[in-house]
Homo-oligomer: A and B are copies of this chain.
Amino acid sequence: MTESSYPISRFTPPELSSLPEDIRAQIETVQEKSGFVPNVFLVLARRPDEFRAFMAYHDALMEREGNLTKAEREMIVVATSSANQCQYCVIAHGAILRIRAKNPLIADQIATNYRKADITERQRAMLDFAMKVAQQAHQVGEEDFATLVSHGFDQEDIWDIAAIAGFFGMSNRIANVTNLRANDQFFTLGRD
């Protein structure tokens, strides 16, 4: 499968050979594992310090041990990124969600209207809260915590939901400004 001929961003990605050793290694690792390099790696690599902080933050939130499954963390990404109209994040993390959830339908359902998706009531409460964090965090209050607790979430889970919604809110904004293009591969991954 060859890549589209469209530029991957309004910002030209750096030459791989010009990158610091640790970043080049990280990019080579993801390429070996996935078969391609997600464009976000290439564009963020223009700024090595931000690249390192971004990836460290991402992994701290998305690969953390905790009550939220990895698929649930991706649900949060897809729902909030869709509200923020971030093409890269919805399409790339939609693929990851399909794979993590072993469900070819879930990503498109959540991206268009999570309220109608094939999810549990607990997951619905999780996404309701994530969307409130993404859109009206200033109104979050005790009643939101009480609702989440009634669905079995504890304080650390709530921090996770909020931090993931917040982190991808940042990522969505950067992707929209840099016009970051989703790799062709993401559109079809996990659809079988």
- A109 on interface, CB distance cutoff 8 Å: yes
- A174 on interface, CB distance cutoff 8 Å: yes
Name the B residues within 8 Å of A85 (CB-CB). 112-113, 138
Cβ-neighbour of A4 out of B105, B115, B116 (below 8 A): B105
Output the nearest chain B residue to A138 by Cβ-Cβ distance. Answer: B85
Contact B169 A163 (CB under 8 A): no
Of A33-41, A53-61, A67-75, which binds chain B?
Answer: A53-61
Output the nearest chain B residue to A135 by Cβ-Cβ distance. Answer: B173
In the assembled complex, the Cα of A176 lies from the Cα of B185 at a distance in Å of 31
Interface residues on A, range: 35 or more
Contact B162 A174 (CB under 8 A): yes
Contact B162 A138 (CB under 8 A): no
In the assembled complex, the Cα of A174 lies from the Cα of B165 at a distance in Å of 9
Please report whether the interface of chain A is mostly helix, strand, loop or mixed according to DSSP. Answer: helix
In the assembled complex, the Cα of A74 lies from the Cα of B141 at a distance in Å of 24
Residues 42-81 of A, flagged 1 when their CB comes within 8 A of B and 0 if not, give: 0000110110111011011100000000000000000000
Name the B residues within 8 Å of A53 (CB-CB). 53-54, 56-57, 60
Known: A90-B112, A112-B87. A140 touches B176 (CB 8 A): yes
Q: Taking the nearest CB of chain B, how far is it from the CB of A107, in angstroms?
A: 9
In the assembled complex, the Cα of A182 lies from the Cα of B163 at a distance in Å of 19
Cβ-neighbour of A139 out of B105, B115, B165, B170 (below 8 A): B115
Name the B residues within 8 Å of A145 (CB-CB). 10
- A153 on interface, CB distance cutoff 8 Å: no
Provide a sorted-by-A list of 7 A–B residue pairs whose CB atoms are within 8 angstroms.
Answer: A10-B145, A46-B159, A82-B112, A116-B179, A137-B177, A166-B169, A169-B170
